[in-house]
């Protein structure tokens, strides 16, 4: 905003926006004063101003949210943040326990937002430089302790309430057993419910607190003043067991949900570990200096030595080396680097030394981009749980409203004892409607499903992945380490059956070479004899030679042989073209000026790959092969597996772009990979699958990890996912049907017709039975047959 004309343009745009009540612009000081209907209008204002070329100064950040216990907590915290003055947008991820927030720094700051969340029982961890794993672990321990205490007390409490209710001592024992459950194990429900009510918000905490609190207090009233009910001919029931069992079941459900959720912070730590702490910079005068990584600037000349990690994306200036890029490309064979070659931060120098010029540093490197992509993908909310979340936010106030209306109707139209019946109905509605079955429906099934998956060799990171894999339409596969073993082996020597002296010389050269292909060849020739009469010299990036007075042996690539003046006859030349077109790796051996042997190395498919690919095809899933390897190799493997959609020589970012494109039109896309180079694509995929023999980062990012890398476990995971999803739907159906029938009956809807009004004790038992039925139904998953 530079002048009054700009101010008038902004004002004309704001006039068209709903929710903007008043505004004024000051072009001299470049500020805009707004009066909004509520803070949620701010996001539209910012978007509109950005569209016309006047972006608002804003900041953004991702913060761990503390003290969240369920999906309803995510809704409450997100709502609080979105309505906080100065917040442009806020998204809270229930599974990841994180909030991504955009805000205007002139209006608010993270400290103020954290204070707002503390007012409703939550908080933001503003120390983003440290992991919140310890806080999460401690919270999980406390949840487990409270669950165990409540269950230990709830079992005898329920027995007393069901079988010894008519004994005079029973109510007093039940009071004694229920009190620690309510005031210790269930204290958090009441604290959060009170804070939420103060801010006109409700959640499952509200309903749990109202129902159990009312049942507990009303039971105490009946325990000490039973005669008030007896005068009206009504038995003075106590519902201590309802209060205790409700809290115990809800705590159990929340602990199961929290235990099943696997936080993904370890993935970021693994990626961060690829970044070196310091590097060697070469000054203009040629002197070396060791500097921290954050001091590296674009254009600096850096030194990379054997065994060291490369500090920045750049271009080799001088020298030759082999660089292990498996963490970025997924390929096990180190890549040759010479002057003009590109190198990537985080990769490791396998052999040799070189200097390189930094082109991208800090958060501009490819590795930093992958780290950011994984951060954005962290945290998820299961689709079914989202539905429960939305329903529960309406369910709570509706149930409270029904309970209040029931009490009022009975009080005004129930005659002499109307208010007593009204209070009876109020308590019964809240007790019968307690959402413990609703709270257990999803986590109980998911916990059983995750356990069954583990038994089947499938490690599940989050609920969403287990749910979604049932609906995948496209499966993208990496090549090396996913479809293949990732271990090249010698498959042919041409011409075949070479003489023993030739093999002995070849073994000598290969056993003394540092090249990975040489190791594969040497392991094939272990029965040969090593010669001591050859003077061996390895030339980085080209090959190796062995000489004595009469012999000159050479092994390496075709270019190296030609540089040394070795001739290649037409037969071997034709064989080279044939095998190279099949996507194999080739190593030449020459003797005294002539190429005499061509060795073909080839990776092997995983034993289960063909059967798994066929099973995917039979299931109607479209397959894509995406690899960083050369296109001839990718083409060869695609043809072997009958995969018609394939691409090679792909960067991690390009893989992610392809998956993003495939996800259009609401298609469900899965990705299976094994390397850090796959982590960005795994983060983009709807369902991410990692090989158990792959890198730790891929396994931490992936939603599913196949132990042993058996691809046939993917069809198993799909079958299991469909079964678990069916169980969840059944659980939710019966949980809601129970409430739909139980609440009206508890309110007394049948009294005018049949004279029947449900007893709170029966309501409590029905509530407990609904929870048990959900658990028993979920246990069916443990009997699921994987074959």
Q: Which residues are catalytic?
A: 478
Helix, strand, or coil (residue 749): coil
Handedness of CA 104, 106, 110, 116 (dihedral sign): negative
Give the angle 544-550-556 at the CA atoms, nearest 5°. Answer: 15
In sequence order, what are the residues at sequence separation of 6 or more whose Cβ sits closer than 8 angstroms to the Cβ of residue 531? 504, 505, 508, 546
Phi, psi of 671 (to 5 degrees): -130, 135
Place of tokens 């997100």: 78
How crowded is the C-beta side of 467, counted as CA atoms within 13 Å?
Answer: 19
For 22, the token pair is 């008043």
Count other C-beta atoms under 10 Å from residue 736's C-beta.
Answer: 17
What is Dmax (Cα atoms) for the chain? 122
Which token pair is 513? Answer: 């070479």
Question: For residue 524, what are its two tokens?
Answer: 């094939």
Cα separation, 439 vs 185, whole angstroms: 17
Residues 6+ apart with CB under 8 A from 419: 407, 410, 411
CA distance 487 to 496: 22
Q: Name the strand (E) or helix (H) holding 88.
A: strand 87-93
Q: Strand, helix or coil at 227?
A: helix
Write the CB contacts of 140 (distance below 8 Å, at least 6 apart in sequence): 255, 258, 259
SS3 state of residue 415: coil
**Quick count: other Cβ atoms within 10 Å of Cβ 311?**
27
Q: How far apart are the first and last CA of the chain?
A: 67
CB 474, CB 668: distance < 8 Å? yes
The beta strand positions in 564-676, using DSSP E, are: 585-591, 594-602, 622-626, 645-647, 669-673
């Amino acid at each position: 905003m530079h002048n009054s004309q700009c101010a008038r343009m902004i004002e004309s745009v704001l006039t068209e926006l709903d929710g903007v009540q008043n505004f004024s612009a000051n072009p001299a000081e470049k500020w805009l004063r707004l009066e909004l209907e509520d803070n949620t209008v701010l996001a539209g204002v910012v978007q509109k101003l950005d569209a016309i070329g006047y972006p608002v100064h804003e900041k953004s950040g991702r913060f761990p949210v503390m003290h969240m216990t369920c999906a309803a907590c995510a809704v409450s915290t997100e709502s609080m943040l979105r309505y906080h003055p100065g917040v442009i947008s806020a998204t809270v991820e229930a599974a990841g326990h994180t909030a991504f927030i955009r805000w205007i720094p002139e209006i608010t700051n993270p400290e103020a937002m954290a204070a707002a969340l503390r007012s409703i029982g939550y908080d933001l961890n503003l120390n983003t430089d440290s992991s919140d794993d310890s806080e999460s672990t401690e919270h999980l321990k406390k949840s487990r302790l409270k669950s165990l205490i409540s269950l230990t007390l709830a079992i005898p409490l329920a027995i007393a309430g069901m079988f010894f209710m008519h004994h005079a001592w029973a109510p007093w024992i039940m009071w004694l057993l229920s009190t620690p459950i309510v005031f210790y194990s269930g204290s958090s429900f009441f604290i959060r419910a009170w804070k939420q009510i103060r801010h006109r918000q409700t959640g499952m905490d509200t309903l749990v607190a109202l129902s159990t609190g009312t049942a507990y207090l009303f039971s105490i009233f009946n325990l000490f003043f039973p005669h008030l009910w007896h005068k009206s001919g009504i038995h003075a029931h106590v519902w201590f067991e309802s209060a205790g069992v409700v809290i115990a079941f809800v705590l159990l459900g929340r602990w199961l949900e929290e235990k099943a959720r696997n936080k993904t912070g370890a993935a970021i730590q693994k990626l961060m570990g690829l970044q070196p702490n310091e590097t060697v910079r070469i000054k203009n005068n040629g002197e070396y200096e060791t500097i921290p990584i954050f001091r590296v600037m674009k254009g600096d000349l850096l030194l990379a030595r054997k065994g060291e990690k490369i500090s920045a994306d750049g271009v080799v200036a001088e020298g030759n080396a082999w660089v292990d890029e498996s963490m970025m490309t997924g390929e096990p064979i180190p890549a040759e680097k010479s002057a003009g070659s590109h190198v990537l931060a985080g990769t490791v120098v396998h052999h040799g030394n070189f200097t390189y010029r930094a082109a991208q540093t800090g958060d501009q490197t490819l590795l930093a981009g992958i780290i950011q992509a994984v951060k954005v993908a962290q945290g998820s909310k299961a689709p079914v749980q989202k539905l429960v979340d939305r329903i529960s936010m309406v369910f709570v106030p509706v149930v409270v409203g029904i309970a209040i209306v029931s009490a009022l109707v009975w009080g005004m139209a129930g005659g002499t004892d109307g208010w007593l019946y009204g209070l009876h109905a109020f308590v019964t509605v809240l007790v019968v409607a307690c959402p413990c079955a609703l709270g257990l429906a999803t986590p109980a099934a998911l916990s059983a499903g995750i356990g069954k998956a583990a038994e089947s060799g499938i490690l599940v990171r989050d609920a969403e992945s287990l749910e979604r894999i049932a609906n995948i339409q496209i499966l993208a596969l990496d090549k090396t380490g996913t479809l293949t073993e990732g271990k090249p082996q010698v498959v042919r020597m041409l011409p075949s059956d070479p003489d023993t002296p030739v093999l002995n010389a070849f073994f000598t050269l290969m056993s003394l070479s540092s090249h990975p292909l040489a190791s594969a060849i040497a392991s094939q020739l272990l029965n040969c004899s090593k010669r001591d009469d050859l003077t061996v010299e390895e030339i980085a990036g080209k090959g190796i030679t062995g000489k004595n007075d009469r012999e000159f042996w050479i092994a390496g690539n075709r270019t190296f042989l030609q540089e040394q003046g070795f001739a290649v006859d037409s037969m071997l030349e034709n064989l080279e073209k044939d095998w190279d077109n099949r996507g194999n790796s080739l190593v030449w051996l020459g003797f005294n000026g002539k190429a005499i042997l061509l060795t073909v190395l080839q990776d092997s498919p995983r034993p289960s790959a063909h059967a798994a690919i066929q099973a995917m095809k039979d299931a109607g899933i479209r397959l894509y092969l995406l690899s960083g390897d050369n296109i001839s190799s990718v083409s060869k493997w695609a043809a072997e597996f009958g995969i018609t959609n394939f691409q090679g020589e792909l960067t991690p970012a390009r893989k992610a772009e392809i998956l993003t494109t495939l996800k259009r039109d609401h298609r469900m896309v899965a990705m299976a990979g094994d390397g850090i180079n796959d982590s960005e694509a795994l983060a983009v995929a709807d369902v991410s699958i990692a090989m158990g023999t792959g890198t730790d980062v891929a396994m931490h990012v992936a939603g599913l990890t196949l132990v042993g890398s058996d691809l046939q476990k993917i069809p198993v995971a799909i079958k299991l996912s469909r079964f678990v999803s069916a169980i969840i739907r059944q659980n939710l159906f019966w949980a809601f049907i129970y409430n739909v029938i139980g609440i009206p009956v508890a309110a007394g809807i049948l009294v005018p017709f049949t004279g029947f009004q449900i007893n709170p004790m029966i309501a409590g038992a029905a509530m407990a039975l609904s929870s048990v039925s959900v658990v028993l139904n979920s246990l069916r998953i443990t009997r699921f047959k994987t074959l």
